[in-house]
Chain A
Amino acid sequence: MKSYLLIPHTGETEIKVEADTLDGLFRVALEGMNRILKQDYEKELDKHISPHEILISSFDSTSLLIDFLSEALTLSTINKVVFSSIDFLELSENNLHAHLVGTKVDKFTTDIKAVTYHSAEIKKNKEGNYETNIIFDI
């Protein structure tokens, strides 16, 4: 189970993400960010691919998620790619090691300046799923 939902925010763009595993939460958060970056990126999946390896350490899982999305955003904007596939080699409370595979895009739909820590807090909800809100500065 994994899902994301757009939340109204006066100045920025906010999403709520939910998944039954931590791995799933990271994947759906990336998918949510990708949809903001490039609404219809699946149309471009047959274009050139661009593989990247990322290694991140943070002091808790919430920071790890935001730092992971920030790194993906940075690589996306520098290389003009949307990361449509992710392979986690390690994902723990503090560390992440993954291979990302990106699809080249001609242009993005929205210019995301940054992924913010404000409002982000990974917690388990009543259903036992992981959830958090994420605000993107656009």
Chain B
Amino acid sequence: MNSKYNLKKITDYIWEIPQSYKSGMRVPARIFASEKLLTEILSDRSLEQLVNVTTLPGIKKFAIAMPDIHEGYGFPIGGIAATSFPDGVISPGGIGYDINCGVRLLKSQIKFEELKAHLDLLAKELHKEIPCGVGKGGALKMGLEKFDIVLNEGILGLIKEGYGQEDIGCIESNGCLQEADTDKVSEHAKKRGKDQLGTMGAGNHFVEVGKVDEIFDQETAKTFGLFPNQVTILIHTGSRGLGHQVATDYVRKMMQVMEKYNVNVADRQLAAAPFSSNEGKDYFAAMSAAANFAWCNRQMIAWEVQRVWKNVLGNSSKLELLYDVAHNIAKIETHVVGNIDEKLIVHRKGATRSFGPGHTEIPDVYLKTGQPVIIPGSMGTESYVLVGTNSAMLESFGSCCHGAGRRMSRHEARKQMQGKDLLEKLKSQDIHVLSDSIADLSEEAPFAYKDVSEVVDVINQSGIAIKVARLKPVVVVKG
């Protein structure tokens, strides 16, 4: 592949930008992509941004790009960087503004045929009951004291308040990062997030009713409790205004102290400080609180979905949690570097944890298979359930992609098709979209994204996660 990056082919699905490409690179950059997707990736500035990530102090092995990579600001979206713990840097830009944006998958025990007669009512009620769109507040109003409990304790704090009885083992990190400290979260951040628990927000966030369209791995699907034509519900949202403000506050703080710690970065948005510094520790404590908020947000929405489900289908019909994963987060994890186990600060920005069988952070129910990895498609395209692998532990710091990845600006997408036309087109494919803003629909149109199946195939072929099942959307309540 000819390109200005001196790209070297490592395997059919892994490419490398050598450390010699640019002065200041501390490690090479690796890209998981097919030749076709790589050509698309080269059309924007995402690889320039990936090269900038390789200059972070303390970065280990490689800066990594997933096949859904696209241009962001500072870090590319669809990137992973691991720095040494505790003296490597932590960079809020490597997590992004929507801290712990992620997905939760609920599974029913019924087949789509049994839902058909109730589908219109279910869609209408979900749209009515789940606050979605720009600036919408939630039904749950908490005093600041209780709000702090949620931020510090995550899902368990919310369950204590009576919202759900989920098996917290089926939530990444049990739905709580213990390092959370609300004293490190600004008043501005708390004010932005206080009324937003249980709200979806706007953009690419959604609640989607789907059905299992194809099973690729029967045995793992059985362990995950998935069967053909089964009705599922996928929830995609994050930490809302609270997370946005935590990131804003700490990018600014890091910028102010970089000189003190002699940290130089290639882009202001990569502002960073040593993890062991006061500023690094404070950010991690605040980010952890925001991550806990995001898990609670998905929990609240799941609780709202459960209520609607029972109202429409009756008390005996249940929805169970399959798994809940984060896409934008930093974690302290142990990985092999040069044959030695090392504790690292793993930044995932638009990437999903993909731990393989036997990992101590996986709940017993999935210990033999590996963790479920949930990859949402764009509105109107399929989503995938995969399973984490031990190859991912060696190749990508236990990570894989997070979605399809944008290929077109929102502005361009709006020019290509009007929202109402897209609505009709999807309807003709038996995909019913409900949104408060039909005019904005085309910003999230399938053609604005890469082909999620191509992206997932690269992940599958490279072995960093293996396909288990495909879900076809039937109702999308769009944020």
Interface of A with B (CB < 8 Å)?
6, 8-13, 59, 62-63, 67, 70, 74, 77-78, 80, 107-111, 113-120, 135, 137-138
Contacts and interface: CB of A to CB of B under 8 A. Distances in A.
A137 B192 contact: no
The 9 closest A-B pairs by CB, nearest first: A118-B73, A117-B268, A118-B269, A116-B73, A113-B244, A113-B97, A114-B97, A111-B202, A111-B134
B135 A80 contact: yes
B408 A111 contact: no
B44 interface: yes
Nearest to B412: A8
26 contacts: A10-B407, A10-B408, A10-B409, A62-B268, A63-B255, A70-B248, A70-B252, A77-B135, A78-B192, A108-B134, A113-B97, A114-B247, A116-B74, A117-B73, A117-B251, A117-B255, A117-B267, A117-B269, A117-B271, A118-B72, A118-B73, A120-B268, A135-B73, A137-B73, A137-B98, A138-B203
A114 B192 CA distance: 12
Q: What's the interface size class on B, roughly?
A: 35 or more
A80 B195 CA distance: 13
Contact of B135 (A13, A70, A107): A107
A107 B134 contact: yes
B201 interface: yes
Query: At the interface, is chain A mostly helix, strand, loop or mixed?
Result: loop
A116 B251 CA distance: 9
Contacts of B410: 13, 138
Contacts of B135: 77, 80, 107-108, 111
Interface of B: 44, 70-74, 77, 96-98, 133-135, 188, 191-192, 201-203, 241, 244-245, 247-248, 251-252, 255-256, 267-269, 271, 406-412
Nearest to A57: B256
Contact of A77 (B241, B247, B251): B241
Nearest to A37: B134
Contact of B71 (A9, A63, A74, A117): A9
Contacts of B247: 114
Contacts of A120: 268
